[in-house]
Amino acid sequence: MTEAASRPARARRPPVPYLLLIPSALFMLALFGWPLIQGVLASVQTPGGGYGWENVRRMTAEPHFWPAVRNTALLIVIVIPLQFALAIAMALLLRERPRLSGLYFYVWAVPLAISDLAAGLVWLAIFADQGYLNSALAGLGLSESGYEWLSYEHPGTMLAAVVVAELWRATSLVFIILVGGLSVIPKEYDEAAQVFGATLWQRVRHVTLPLLRPSIQVALILRTILAFQTFAVAQALAGRNFPLLIGETYEWYVNLQNPYAASAVAMIILGVSMFTATVYLRALRQPDVIRGAR
Amino acid sequence: MTAAGTAAPDRAAAPDAGVDRAPLARRRRNRMLVQVACLAITAFMAAPMYLITLAAFSTRESLNAFPKSFAPADVSTETLRSFLGATGVVPSFLNSLVVGLLTLVLSVAIGTPAGYALARHVFAGRDAYQLFLLFTRALPIVVLSVPLARFFITAGLSDTVLAVALLHTALALPTTVLITASIFTAVPRDLEEAALVFGCTRASAFRQVVAPLALPGIAAASLFTFVLSWNEVLGAAVLTLTNRTLPAQVLGSLQWSPLPYRFAGGFALLVPALIFIFVMRRYLLNMWGTTLR
């Protein structure tokens, strides 16, 4: 930042943008830059004080590590596409202004404010051995004592439970960003396309979605990066039977009291998050690269 | 035309007898389908909230029963009372509120100007700044919490709500900047330029033209900020020992707590969410409705 700021600004343009940026840049450098350097150092530091790959070896030797990698990847690959399909459908449904749309909007937006821990606990009431899902099954006579959805013997349903809880909790964030994006798109575009005989699918695909691209981009980046940091849902539902990478850093730091290995795991999440964000930015880049520029 | 209203203005000239009813029927069917889909999604979203409420207001016996009843059979505050009576629950709730509000104010005050700069100005270092934003957003919380905890100890802020609020602001700030930037981008630049042409200064053009158009979005952005802080568990758990936020408190006691405590905890974490969105709803809906028209 600073070396960019010291470069001469373009002729006759007052340094307004820099004045606007400086508070945030300083704040983040203080609260991110310094701790980040400390974190990177800690990840390659050995408890004795030297440097080396000791932490990485420890981390990968831990029996929960590879399952955690697999679970994290699986969860993201499954949840995000489902989530976006659902959120786009929800936003478009509400744009049709059905009756009770105010109520729908409220109910659909509520999970936005629900913490992942709360979501895990909510769905625990449903998926627990004596929970509401099994009660429903028993009540319908489909099963006598229900099914152990969250047992470590049934990794499939455990994953499904976490996916459902994540869909329930985090789709609202995407939904609200898309509703916000939709609301600034004039309805005339869609109506014009309709007048010219475009089908619903054509209008969504060629009119609405391209106009929504900035919102989708923001939502996609946010959601993916947040998905890498999801852990309390799985923690509340399945504990360590469904390890996730971020949960491993927690485990290393809080329970095993090893901040070095915790940092090493965190560096992996950091690297993967950065990589994904870069890919998205490139893939979704708009033709007129610099928004608002002439 | 009479009943069709806006449906088919191009048919206005046609004689009544020859009206094609098919589009009207299609329209009605579509509205039905929309309604059914909306109800299905609402059921998916609302059912878990109902069930956790039911669980939180059940007695211990009915929580141990199987199969459980889906109707409120024996409403009781026993489960909730024992949760609220547990050590540290009420203070942690207040801590959560304070941290959330502090975070909201700090991040909107610092983040909105940056978002505006990104949306409206082309300047050297713009891409670097954006990359920096993404980078900070992608950082896993725990990495920061550990060295930050040490930093806050030297700054005399250890185990305070302010320390947690600062961490949360740092976490929320990139999001706030990104969202406000996309909001300001969506406000047509021409409007602002027109205001400048008609004699506004940059500041008054911003105040009178851009701000009203961007305000709903900024409200939504600050909503995210509060929620982000409210929901954050790990950093709060690492940075504090006694001044815990509610999620950190519940997470800390998750392992050895009985199921009723967890259900009550889930409900207690859920209620502020319900209230908060309810308060924001009118505002969100207003902006959403008016800009749509």
The confidence band for A97, taking pLDDT boundaries of 50, 70 and 90, is: confident
- Which CATH topology does A54-283 take? MetI-like fold (1.10.3720)
Residue A286 is predicted with a pLDDT of 53
Domains: count for chain B = 2
Contacts of residue A262 in chain B, CB cutoff 8 Å?
142-143, 146
Provide the pLDDT for residue B239.
82
Q: Which domain holds residue B246?
A: 87-252
* Chain A residue whose CA is closest to B251: A117
Q: Give the rounded percent of residues in chain B with a pLDDT score beyond 70.
A: 86
Q: What is the ipTM of this complex?
A: 0.80
Would you state the pLDDT for residue A250? 79
Query: How confident is the model at residue B142, as a pLDDT?
Result: 58
Would residue B41 count as lying in a domain?
A: yes
Q: Which residue has the tokens 């802080």?
A: B229
> A147 exposed, middle or buried (CB, 10 Å; 0-12, 13-18, 19+)?
middle
Name the token pair of B8.
Answer: 């088919």
Half-sphere exposure (Cβ direction) of A135: Cα atoms closer than 13 Å:
19
Which pLDDT band, with edges at 50, 70 and 90, does A161 fall under?
Answer: very high
pLDDT per residue as tens digits for the range A122-160: 999 999 888 888 888 888 888 777 788 888 888 889 999
Residue A11 pLDDT > 90: no
Question: B111 and B34, same structural domain?
Answer: no
Alpha helical stretches, state H, chain A: 2-6, 16-28, 34-43, 54-61, 65-95, 101-109, 116-127, 132-139, 155-183, 187-195, 200-203, 209-228, 232-238, 245-250, 259-283
pLDDT over 70 at A269, yes or no = yes
**Is residue B13 included in any domain, yes or no?**
no
Domain co-membership, B157 together with B47: no
Can you give the pLDDT at residue A163?
94
Q: The CATH number of the domain where B115 resides is what?
A: 1.10.3720.10
Contact list in B for residue A229 (CB cut-off 8 A) is: 140-141
Mutation to test the B interface, candidates A24, A36, A169, most B Cβ within 10 Å: A24
**At a CB cut-off of 8 Å and minimum separation 6, what does B196 contact?**
B202, B205
Lowest mean pLDDT among A180-184, A210-214, B64-68: B64-68
Query: Quick one: average pLDDT of A174-192?
Result: 84
Judged by a CB distance cut-off of 8 A, whether residue A225 touches chain B is: yes
Do B133 and B226 fall into the same domain? yes
Contacts of A72 by beta carbon, 8 Å cutoff, 6+ apart = A228, A244, A245, A246
Residue B15's pLDDT is what?
52
Q: Check whether the bond before B67 is cis (ω within 30° of 0).
A: yes
Buried b (16+ CB within 10 A) or exposed e, A58-75: bbeebebbebbbebbeeb
Higher model confidence: residue B36 or residue A5?
B36
Total residue count of chain B as it appears in this document:
293
Tokens 């033709």 map to which residue?
A287
The low-confidence residues of chain B, meaning pLDDT below 50, are 1-9, 11-12, 14, 285-293
The verdict on B242 and B118 lying in the same domain is yes
Q: What digits encode the pLDDT tens for the residues A223-253?
A: 887 888 888 888 888 888 888 888 888 788 7
Span A169-177, average pLDDT: 87
Rounded-to-integer distance, Cα B12 and Cα B4, Å:
10
Specify if B45 maps to a domain. Answer: yes
Shared-domain flag, residues B72 and B160:
no
Q: Is the pLDDT score of A9 beyond 60?
A: no
Same domain as B216, residue B96: yes
Compute the distance between CA of residue A281 and CA of residue A275 in angstroms, rounded to an integer: 10
Q: In terms of domains, do B118 and B155 share one?
A: yes
Determine the longest span between alpha carbons in chain A, in angstroms: 78
Which residue from B180, B190, B243 is spatially nearest to B214, judged by alpha carbons? B180
B69 lies in the same domain as B185: no
B71 and B92 fall within a common domain: no
Report the SS3 class of residue A154. Answer: coil
- What are the boundaries of each domain within chain A? 1-43, 54-283
Same-domain pairing of B68 and B195: no
Return the amino acid letter for A146: G
A97, A100, A107, best to mutate vs chain B, most B CBs in 10 Å? A107
Domain annotation covers residue B16: no
Average pLDDT, chain A: 81
Residue A42 near residue A259 (C-beta atoms within 8 A): yes
Residues B174 and B194 in one domain: yes
